[in-house]
Amino acid sequence: MKKFLAFVLLVALGAAGYGYFWVHHPLIPAGGQPIDFAVKPGSSVRGTGQQIEASGIPVNPLMFALLARFSGKSGRLKAGNYTLKPETTPLGLIEQLVRGELAQESLVVIEGWTFRQMRQAVNAHPALRHDTVNLGDNELMAKVSSDYKVPEGMFFPDTYLFAKGSSDLQIFKRAHALMLKHMDDEWARRDPAVPYKNRYEALIMASIIEKETGQAGERDMIAAVFVNRLKRGMLLQTDPTVIYGMGDKFQGNIRKRDLETDTPYNTYTRPGLPPTPISLPGAASMAAAVNPTKTDVLYFVSRGDGTSHFSNNLNDHNRAVNKYQRQQ
């Protein structure tokens, strides 16, 4: 009897030792590759362990279930898509599931992109669930906004983090909500002298500024040129709006006949702002649109090095054009 009890005790100590070792031993060694796994909603603790094992992670479903129950966390495991990193122990895995630390993916929306480019990036992202891919722009906008029907300009360029397998519709909703917030914030901070009727017109101007310069320090001056022109009833005469109005007809070069061909976006033939934004403007362009530099400049021309020369009269502007453009 004593031998039997000693044997049972030995086995128990061995099991306890193995259990302690297993709980604290990395499931993926240092230097290994992370492994993605998914836990379906409504899964039992044992079922969760089985799904994790099926993904290629060396976890024993029974021991996983026992660990979850003995740690008092079996009812707090969250479903979703996860990534197990090297050196994570079974105990660390349980904690990850309790905290709901889902696999983080990212989508970068670039300042100055058109909405079409944003949709292409969203549609091409392999970690998103593509619920909107078959929707037209108007159908998509109807799911995102109750106030705006045209999507151009209505999504804020930023880096968006999301859990792997998230719906692409959530990206659009977040980007739209963030753009509305920036529109409200900048409109509240606007110079009372800017000639816009509402925040949407300010957004249109911001989208033009975004396409006209890549120099952060020039945005306020570019804004001043266009604001001064609006106030004087002058044509904006900005090439990016013409290019936007050409759509697929634009092949990389803008010609004189393009500037003379009327479209709703041709600011050489039509006064005022175009009917909608022409790009997704960033925060700096939005701020410049509502608080331009206080100056009387009316013209600018590229120097060819990424910067611009500004003039307040046509004669000076023509001289600058001869210097920086016609001699190149």
Q: How confident is the model at residue 103 (pLDDT cuts 50, 70, 90)?
A: confident
**CA-CA distance, 205 to 276, in Å (whole number)?**
9
**Residue 145: predicted pLDDT:** 92
**Residue 5: predicted pLDDT:** 43
**Residue 34: predicted pLDDT:** 87
**Residue 327: predicted pLDDT:** 55
CB 295 within 8 A of CB 221: yes
CB 294 within 8 A of CB 222: no
**Residue 320: predicted pLDDT:** 84
**Residue 1: predicted pLDDT:** 54
Residue 309 is encoded by which pair of tokens? 């020369």
**Residue 31: predicted pLDDT:** 85
Q: How confident is the model at residue 12 (pLDDT cuts 50, 70, 90)?
A: very low
Looking at the predicted structure, is the pLDDT value of residue 208 above 60?
yes
Residue 124 is encoded by which pair of tokens? 């091409």
Higher pLDDT, 245 or 4: 245
**Residue 252: predicted pLDDT:** 81
Which residues 6+ apart lie within 8 Å of 323 measured at CB?
Answer: 309
Q: Which of 8-12, 33-37, 131-135 has the highest mean pLDDT?
A: 131-135
Q: How far is CA 166 from the centre of its chain?
A: 14
Looking at the predicted structure, is the pLDDT value of residue 264 above 90?
yes
**Residue 19: predicted pLDDT:** 54
Beta-strand pair 80-84/35-39: antiparallel
State the amino acid at position 185 in one-letter form.
D
**Residue 189: predicted pLDDT:** 96
* CA angle 199–111–250, rounded 5-degree value: 95
pLDDT tens digits for range 268-324: 999 999 999 999 999 999 999 999 999 999 988 888 777 888 889 888 888 888 887
Average pLDDT, integer, range 104-130: 95
**Residue 251: predicted pLDDT:** 84
Sort 41 into a burial class: Cβ within 10 Å, 0-12 / 13-18 / 19+.
Answer: exposed
Minimum mean pLDDT among 99-108, 226-235, 240-249: which range? 99-108
The DSSP-derived string for 120-187 is HHHHH-TTSB-SSTTS-HHHHHHHH-SS----TT-S--SEEEEETT-BHHHHHHHHHHHHHHHHHHHH
Higher pLDDT, 280 or 327: 280
**Residue 14: predicted pLDDT:** 44
Looking at the predicted structure, is the pLDDT value of residue 164 above 90?
no
Q: How confident is the model at residue 217 (pLDDT cuts 50, 70, 90)?
A: confident
Q: How far is CA 311 from the centre of its chain?
A: 36
Q: How confident is the model at residue 4 (pLDDT cuts 50, 70, 90)?
A: very low
CA distances in angstroms from 271 to 4, 156, 229, 237, listed in the order given: 99, 27, 10, 9
What's 1's DSSP letter? -
**Residue 313: predicted pLDDT:** 87
**Residue 221: predicted pLDDT:** 95
pLDDT tens digits for range 21-51: 567 789 998 888 889 898 999 999 999 999 9
